[in-house]
C-alpha cells in the first residue's frame, strides 16, 4: 500500500481522482487539500463518495504532504511549480495534472501561461506522462507532467502515422470538440447552462495553450518540427472529447487499419475499432480508454483519424492514476477497469 495526497481536490479532476483512487487496491488516500473548504467532509461536497472517502478537506500543509508516497496536483496552472521542489527533495513522487511541467522550454511556457516559470531547472527532468509513448521513462520518474485532454486525444490519433512516415507532416489538422467540464468547475459566464446548451462554437482559433504541447509531442515522434492547425470547439455535453484529425498521405499502399491495430496491440487503454467504425464519446464516458478509427475516404490522399476520450479520465485523472501505477510498479490497469457508461 502507498499513501497518496491530492492537492486541490475540489474541482472535477480532483473528484475524479478521488473516485478512482478510492477503488484502487494499493492506495490509501491520506490527505486532500483545499484552502477554501478546509474542514468540510469530502462526502458533503461530493455525495457520490459517501461510504468510500471519509476524509475532510484540509488546508495545504507541506508537513502533511511529506507523509505521502505520491502527491497529485489537481490545481490551476502555476501552483504545483511552487511546491514540487520541496516534495522531490523529500523523495516524494509527484504527478501534476496541470500544465506546469508539460513544456520543455521555459520561455515558451511563460508566453502561453502568462507568468515566469518558478522552477525551470525541473522542466528537463519532468517526464511527459503519455504512457503509450513514454512508459519506460515514467517507470523511473520522480516528476510526471500529466498530459492535457486535447493533447492526449490528438497525439494518440496522429502518432502511428508519424512513426510510420506516411503523411505530410507540415499540414496536419486537428478539429477537436470538448464537453463543458473541460473548462473546470469554477463559476464563469461562458460555461453556464444558458450559454452552452443548444449551442456549438469554436474558440482559441488564433492560438490555444494546448497547441505547443501537441506540437512538442508530435515533433518528438517525428524527429523534426511539424505543421499543425488545431481548432478546439465547445459542445453542449458534460464529458468527452472527439478529435477528427486530417493528414495528407504520402504513400498509398499501406493498410492503415493494420498499422493502427499493430501500433496499439499491447496497449491496455487504447481501442482500435473495426474498420469503418465511428467511435462515440459516450462509449468512453467514465472509462480510461481512447477509442480510435482510421479512414481514407473514397481512397483519396487524405487520411482521417477519429479519436475519442473522456476528458476527465483518460484526459486527466485516469491517465494520472495510470502513470502512478507505472511509477510504483503496480499493474497498469489497477483501479482503472471501469467500463464506459451507456446510455
With 0-12 CB in 10 A as exposed, 13-18 as middle and 19+ as buried, what is 16?
buried
| Residue recorded with cell 457520490 | 48
Report DSSP state, residue 114: S
Q: Domains in the chain and their CATH numbers?
A: 2-125 (3.40.50.720), 149-311 (3.30.360.10)
Catalytic residue among 119, 149, 194, 290: 149
Indicate the pairing of strand 270-272 with strand 201-202. unpaired
Phi/psi at 65 (nearest 5 deg)? -65, -30
Specify the pLDDT at position 115: 97
> From CA 164, how far away is CA 144, in angstroms rounded?
27
User: Strands across the sheet with 70-73, in order?
Assistant: 27-33, 2-7, 70-73, 93-96, 143-145, 127-128
Contact 71, 5 (CB under 8 A): yes
Q: Check if 149 is active-site.
A: yes
| Tens-binned pLDDT, residue by residue, of the chain (343 aa) | 999 999 998 999 999 999 999 999 999 999 999 988 999 999 999 999 999 999 999 999 899 999 999 999 999 999 999 999 999 999 999 999 999 999 999 999 999 999 999 999 999 999 999 999 999 999 999 999 999 999 999 999 999 999 999 999 999 999 999 999 888 877 788 888 888 889 999 999 999 999 999 999 999 999 999 999 999 999 999 999 999 999 999 988 899 999 999 999 999 999 999 999 999 999 999 999 999 999 999 999 999 999 999 999 999 999 999 999 999 999 999 999 999 998 8
Contact 279, 307 (CB under 8 A): yes
Contact 117, 81 (CB under 8 A): yes
> From CA 294, how far away is CA 275, in angstroms rounded?
7
Instruction: Kindly state the cell numbers that stand for 46.
Output: 461530493
Tell me the whole-structure pTM to 2 decimals. Answer: 0.96
Specify the pLDDT at position 191: 83
Specify the pLDDT at position 193: 84
Instruction: Kindly state the cell numbers that stand for 207.
Output: 492560438
Q: Distance between terminal CA atoms of the chain?
A: 35
Amino acid at each position: 500500500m502507498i499513501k497518496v495526497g491530492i492537492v486541490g481536490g475540489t474541482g472535477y479532476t480532483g473528484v475524479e481522482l478521488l473516485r478512482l483512487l478510492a477503488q484502487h487496491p494499493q492506495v490509501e488516500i491520506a490527505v486532500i487539500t483545499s484552502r477554501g473548504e478546509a474542514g468540510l467532509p469530502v462526502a458533503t461536497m461530493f455525495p457520490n463518495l459517501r461510504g468510500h472517502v471519509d476524509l475532510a478537506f484540509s488546508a495545504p500543509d507541506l508537513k502533511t504532504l511529506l507523509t505521502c508516497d505520491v502527491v497529485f496536483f489537481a490545481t490551476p496552472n502555476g501552483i504545483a511549480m511552487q511546491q514540487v521542489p520541496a516534495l522531490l527533495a523529500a523523495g516524494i513522487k509527484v504527478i501534476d495534472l496541470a500544465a506546469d511541467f508539460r513544456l520543455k522550454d521555459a520561455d515558451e511556457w511563460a508566453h502561453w501561461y502568462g507568468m515566469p516559470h518558478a522552477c525551470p531547472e525541473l522542466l528537463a527532468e519532468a517526464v511527459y506522462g503519455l504512457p503509450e509513448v513514454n512508459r519506460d521513462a515514467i517507470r523511473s520518474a520522480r516528476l510526471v507532467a500529466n498530459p492535457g485532454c486535447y493533447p492526449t486525444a490528438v497525439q494518440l490519433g496522429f502518432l502511428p502515422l508519424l512513426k510510420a512516415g506516411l503523411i505530410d507532416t507540415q499540414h496536419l489538422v486537428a478539429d477537436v470538440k470538448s464537453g463543458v467540464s473541460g473548462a473546470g468547475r469554477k463559476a464563469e459566464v461562458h460555461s453556464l447552462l444558458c450559454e452552452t446548451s443548444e449551442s456549438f462554437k469554436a474558440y482559441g482559433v488564433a492560438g490555444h495553450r494546448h497547441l505547443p504541447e501537441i506540437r512538442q509531442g508530435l515533433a518528438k515522434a517525428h524527429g523534426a518540427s511539424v505543421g499543425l492547425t488545431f481548432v478546439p470547439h465547445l459542445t453542449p455535453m458534460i464529458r468527452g472529447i472527439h478529435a477528427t484529425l486530417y493528414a495528407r498521405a504520402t504513400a498509398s499502399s499501406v493498410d492503415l487499419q493494420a498499422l493502427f491495430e499493430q501500433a496499439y496491440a499491447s496497449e491496455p487503454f487504447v481501442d482500435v475499432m473495426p474498420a469503418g467504425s465511428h467511435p462515440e464519446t459516450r462509449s468512453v464516458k467514465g472509462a480510461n480508454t481512447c477509442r480510435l478509427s482510421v479512414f481514407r475516404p473514397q481512397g483519396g490522399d487524405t487520411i482521417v483519424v477519429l479519436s475519442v476520450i473522456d476528458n476527465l479520465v483518460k484526459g486527466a485523472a485516469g491517465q494520472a492514476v495510470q502513470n502512478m501505477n507505472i511509477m510504483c510498479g503496480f499493474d497498469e490497469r489497477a483501479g482503472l477497469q471501469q467500463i464506459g457508461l451507456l446510455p
